[in-house]
Structure 1
Amino acid sequence: MKRTVSVLVLFLFAAGLNLAVAQNRATIKFDDLEHNFGTFNEEQGNVSYDFKFKNTGNAPLIVSYVRSSCGCTTPEWTRKPVAPGDNGHIRVTYNPKNRPGNFTKTISISSNATNPMVVLKIRGKVIPRVKTPEEIYPREVGLVRMRTNHLAFVKIKDDEVRTDSLQFVNLGDKPVTIGIKQAPSYLKVEIVPKTVQPGKKGHFVVTYDASKKKEYGFVIDRVYLTENGESNYNYSIGVSATIVEDFSKLTPQQLANSPKVGFDERVFNFGEIAEGQKVNHVFQIKNTGKSDLVIRRIRASCGCTAVTPATTVIKPGESTDLKVVFNSHGKRGRQNKSITVITNDPDQPTTILRITGNVKS
Structure 2
Amino acid sequence: MAKKILSLIFVFTFSVFAQLVGPKASAQITEYNFGDIKQGDVVSYDFKIMNNGGDVLKIIDVRASCGCTAAQPDKKELKPGETTTIKVTFNSKGRKGAQIKTVKVITNDPEKSDINFVIRCNILVDENNDKPSGAVLFLPESQFNFGQVKEGTTVSHTFELVNKGTDILNIKDVRTSCGCTAALVSSSELKPGEKGTLKVDLDTKGRQGKMSRTISIMSNDSEQSTKVITIYAEVLKN
Q: Same fold (TM over 0.5)?
A: yes
After superposition, the Cα gap between the structure-2 partners of 1:29 and 1:22, relative to the gap in structure 1 and judged at 3 Å, is closer
Alignment correspondent of 1:84? 80
| Residue number in structure 1 paired with 2:64 | 68
| 8 A Cα contact 1:76 1:90, kept in partner | yes
C-alpha contact (below 8 Å) 2:69/2:91 kept by paired residues: yes
Give the structure 2 partner of residue 105 of structure 1. Answer: 101
Specify whether residues 23 and 160 from structure 1 end up closer, same or farther in structure 2 by C-alpha distance, changes over 3 A only: farther
TM-score (normalised: structure 2): 0.63
CA distance in 2: counterparts of 1:18 and 1:119, whole angstroms: 24
Deviation at 1:201, TM superposition (A): 1.5
Contact (CA 8 Å) 1:189, 1:204: kept in 2 or not?
A: no
3-state SS of paired residue (1:32): coil
SS at match of 2:77: coil
Q: 1:177 to 1:85 in 2, by over 3 A?
A: closer
Do 1:48 and 1:92's aligned partners in 2 also have CA atoms closer than 8 Å? Answer: yes
The Cα of 1:72 is off from its aligned counterpart by 1.2
Deviation per residue, 1:166-212 (Å, 9 max, x gap): 4127966xxx9979653223766453x44778666223547699x43
2:32 equivalent to 1:35: yes
Partner of 1:303: none
CA contact (8 A) 1:187 1:206 kept: no
Question: Is the contact made by 1:138 and 1:148 (CA closer than 8 Å) also made in structure 2?
Answer: no
My pick for the range that moved more, 111-120 or 194-203, is 194-203
- Work out which of the residue numbers 205, 216, 222 in structure 2 matches 1:222: 216
Q: For residues 45-85 of structure 1, what are the alpha-carbon distances to aligned partners after superposition, in whole Å with 9 as ceiling and x for unaligned?
A: 31111101211111111122222222211111245310100
Cα distance in 2 for partners of 1:75, 1:207 equals 58
Aligned-pair CA distance for 1:92: 0.6
Shift of 1:39: 1.8
CA distance in 1, matches of 2:201, 2:15: 81
Shift of 1:37: 1.1
Change over 3 Å in CA distance of 1:104–1:187 after alignment to 2: farther
What is the percent sequence identity of the aligned residues?
21
Report the counterpart of residue 44 of structure 2 in structure 1.
48
Q: Is the 8 A contact 1:30 1:53 kept in 2?
A: yes
Q: Deviations over 1:210-239 (max 9, x none)?
A: x4358xxxxx973358xxxxxxxxxx6321
TM-score by length of 1: 0.44
How much has 1:12 moved relative to structure 2? 9.3
Does residue 212 of the first structure (1) align with residue 211 of the second (2)?
yes
Query: What are the within-5 Å matches in structure 2 for residues 125-274 of structure 1?
Result: 125-129=122-126, 131=128, 136=131, 138-139=133-134, 145-147=135-137, 165-168=160-163, 182-185=175-178, 189-191=183-185, 193-194=186-187, 201-205=194-198, 211-213=210-212, 222-224=216-218, 237-239=226-228
CA distance in 2, matches of 1:195, 1:240: 17
Q: Distance in 2 between matches of 1:166 and 1:64?
A: 57
Higher-RCO chain (CA-CA 8 Å, sequence separation at least 6): 2
Mapped partners of 1:20, 1:160: distance in 2: 91
Going from structure 1 to structure 2, the CA distance change for 1:197 and 1:26 (only over 3 Å counts) comes to: closer
What amino acid sits opposite 2:211 in the alignment? K
Other structure's SS at 2:211 match? helix
* 1:196/1:202 contact within 8 Å kept: no
Alpha-carbon separation, structure 2, partners of 1:208 and 1:194 = 17
Contact 1:55 1:61 (C-alpha < 8 Å) held by counterparts:
yes
Q: Is the 8 A contact 1:63 1:78 kept in 2?
A: no
Give per-residue Cα distances to partners, 1:235-261, cap 9 Å, x unaligned. x632177x9xxxxxxxxxxxxxxxxxx
Q: Relative to 1, partners in 2 of residues 1:122 and 1:147: Cα closer, same or farther, differing over 3 Å?
A: farther
Closer/same/farther in 2, CA of residues 79 and 187 from structure 1, 3 Å limit? farther
Q: Distance in 1 between matches of 2:80 and 2:131?
A: 55
The CA distance in 1 between the partners of 2:229 and 2:188, in whole Å, is 26
Contact 2:133 2:167 in 1 (8 A): no
- Give distance in 2, aligned partners of 1:115 and 1:208: 74
Distance 1:177 1:81, change over 3 A: closer
Distance 1:111 1:206, change over 3 A: farther
Q: Which amino acid aligns with 1:102?
A: A
Give 1:103 shift: 1.3
